[in-house]
Amino acid sequence: MAKIRDIILTSAFIFSLFPCAALEAKAGMSGSDFLTSFTDARPAALSGAFVATASGISSIFINPAGIALDVRPELSGTHTIDIYDRSTEHFSAAFPMKDFSLGFSATYNYTSDFMAIDEFGNNQGIVANYDYILCASVSEKFLGFLSGGVNFKYFGSYLYKYSKNGIAFDAGALMWYNIFRFGVSLQNLGTQSAYINVVDPMPVLLRLGLGMKIKINASDYVSAEAGTILPASSGEEKSFNFGAEYFCWDAVYLRCGANVYEESGYTLSLGAGVMLKNFVFEYTLGSINNSQKSQRLGITFIL
């Protein structure tokens, strides 16, 4: 079992370091946008600049290699709501084992039910609209300065009488030296079924990040990261993101981030968290400078 795990993680680590061929193979693909939205309050507050500084349970979606840096089991839940009456419930768990770490998450994205009206004005009844993602992760450290991780995802969507499902694979890697960190993550390689007789292409993303983490004293630290998001589709827009986190007084997290797009401007995000014994309570206000504002409330229990 351990040998199979090592083969999977080593392959994922190598694959994530050489992602160009995979991106070229998926060129022109996009779709299933819920696979690319942020689920946790922490990476959302950093505008996604959490690839190189990823650690703990919040790294499952962004870079699964960060799960290996957890030293204690964690359970987490996040509620997200935006101005379009769209909500997301996200639950995750991370468990450090003897030689590796495991992660699990479930995401449910939905809107309020609405009435369907046909072209003749007839009421067709209540329409349900939701998406879901189930994810299993495994991560491991290598050589004292590297870690690799993979996600295996099963997802689906439902709208009115139409539905689809699919599977996807993520691979990530982390490298650290002194205060510096480098991270890479390749997301959403996979396939899905037809949706209203149309097979949507997968939203394959390459995330790169370069960051640093500086300890101020025994407990306090400041971390910062700059990165880029490279979509495989020519119809998607490349972006650059920046994020910073300050942990102070052994209890308070202060976070901010920015995402700059090549053509459509930029978005800003702010967040804060408070640690009370084994609990961390978090809040994030995302896209605060445009019409796509979102709010996230999260709680993490450290066992």
Per-residue pLDDT of the chain (303 residues; tens, 9 = 90+): 554 455 444 444 444 444 443 333 333 333 467 888 878 999 999 999 999 999 999 999 899 999 999 889 999 999 998 766 788 999 999 999 988 999 999 999 988 777 767 667 777 777 778 999 999 999 999 888 999 999 999 999 988 778 889 999 999 999 999 999 999 999 999 999 987 777 888 889 999 999 999 999 988 999 999 999 998 865 678 999 999 999 999 999 999 999 999 888 899 999 999 999 999 999 999 875 565 688 999 999 998
Q: For position 19, what pLDDT does the model report?
A: 42
Phi–psi pair at 58, nearest 5 degrees: -70, -10
Give the HSE-up count for residue 135: Cα atoms under 13 Å, Cβ half-sphere: 34
pTM: 0.84
Q: What is the pLDDT of residue 34?
A: 80
Spatial distance between the Cα atoms of 69 and 186, rounded to a whole number of angstroms: 19
Where exactly are the structural domains of the chain? 2-302
CA–CA dist 242, 257 (Å, integer)? 5
| Gap between the Cα atoms of 254 and 270, Å rounded | 8
Place of tokens 């396939």: 191
For 2-302, CATH gives: 2.40.160.60
262 phi/psi in degrees, rounded to 5: -60, -35
Contacts of 124 (CB under 8 A, 6+ apart): 115, 116, 117, 118
Phi, psi of 102 (to 5 degrees): -115, 145
Closest to 137 in 3D by CA, of 87, 191, 180, 185:
185
Picking from 128, 123, 107, the residue whose alpha carbon sits closest to that of residue 296 is 107
CB 146 within 8 A of CB 174: yes
Give the pLDDT confidence score for residue 22 in this predicted structure.
36
| Cβ neighbours for 122, distance < 8 A, ≥ 6 positions apart | none
pLDDT score recorded for residue 4: 45
Retrieve residue 204's tokens.
């394959």
What does the alpha-carbon distance between residue 35 and residue 88 come to, in Å, rounded to a whole number? 12
pLDDT at residue 73, rounded to an integer = 95
What is the distance between the alpha carbons of residues 196 and 179, in angstroms, rounded to a whole number?
A: 50
The number of residues in the chain equals 303
- CA angle 171–31–138, rounded 5-degree value: 20
Sign of the alpha-carbon torsion through 49, 256, 283, 289: negative
Cα–Cα distance, 293 to 291 (Å, whole number): 6
